[in-house]
A and B are shown apart, each in its own frame.
Chain A
Amino acid sequence: QSALTQPPSASGSPGQSVTISCTGTSSDVGGYPYVSWYQHHPGKAPKLLIYEVNKRPSGVPDRFSGSKSGNTASLTVSGLQAEDEADYYCSSFADSNNLGVFGGGTKLTVL
């Protein structure tokens, strides 16, 4: 069981938007502005999409956006494209271990 809770799956049609949630506690997601999101295509290294809740590294399309409310963070993928089909993981700094915790991952299917 992962420290952060994500839905195991999500789906949407091309062009639609989908939001993936990531629920933690006040000791991690809710207590710090340090949530990050990763896209993982099998066989490849995970890719950073969002850091510090809503910041995008250079090169990440603005179709990817992050937000947080209380103990739940969210990743929204707008204008879904076929290449967005992948696993998505959230992570947060956690004062329980002074390092961080991850979510269990969400498999996004583009219908």
Chain B
Amino acid sequence: EVQLVQSGAEVKKPGESLKISCKTSGYNFPIYWIAWVRQMPGKGLEWMGIIYPADSDARYNPSFRGQVTLSVDKSISSAYLQWSSLEASDTAMFYCVRPIMVGEIIVGIDYWGQGTLVTVSS
């Protein structure tokens, strides 16, 4: 059974760093792209970026490039989303997902993590 299990909710202060995780199981982690999706309070879903674990090839939504970093650890089949300096506007729910790809195009999402709520407040 494919599972994506995310780390727990976080409460941080502006300026702090943060790394949230997505532990996967039930499939061959290196050969499937994995992605992160943001949902700000009361707002819709947004693609943040995708990463191919086999070679850590990461593609970012231009809206998020430079704001976050995607990484993986193949040895433990886990993906990570990190910030070096959080802002209040980073408050959101973040989902790791396994996208369905046709070539390099995302055509759907077949598995979702349960979401990690990040709250940034002074």
Contacts and interface: CB of A to CB of B under 8 A. Distances in A.
Contact of A97 (B62, B102, B109): B62
B76 interface: no
B23 to A, nearest CB: 15
A77 B100 CA distance: 23
A52 B44 contact: no
A97 B110 contact: no
A100 B33 CA distance: 14
B106 A102 contact: no
B46 A93 contact: no
Contacts of B111: 45
B31 interface: no
A34 B46 contact: no
Contacts of A45: 111-114
B83 to A, nearest CB: 19
Nearest to A99: B47
Q: Binding site of B, secondary structure by majority: helix, strand, loop or mixed?
A: strand
A86 B23 CA distance: 27
A52 to B, nearest CB: 5
A13 B63 CA distance: 41
B50 interface: yes
A2 interface: yes
Contact of A103 (B44, B63, B110): B44
A93 B105 contact: yes
Contacts of B47: 97, 99-102
Contacts of B43: 2, 104
A29 B46 CA distance: 16
B61 A57 contact: no
Given A46-B112, A105-B44, A51 B59 contact: no
Contacts of A64: none
A97 B63 contact: yes
A89 B44 CA distance: 9
Interface in B25-66: 35, 43-47, 49-50, 59, 61-63
Interface of B: 35, 43-47, 49-50, 59, 61-63, 100, 102, 105-114
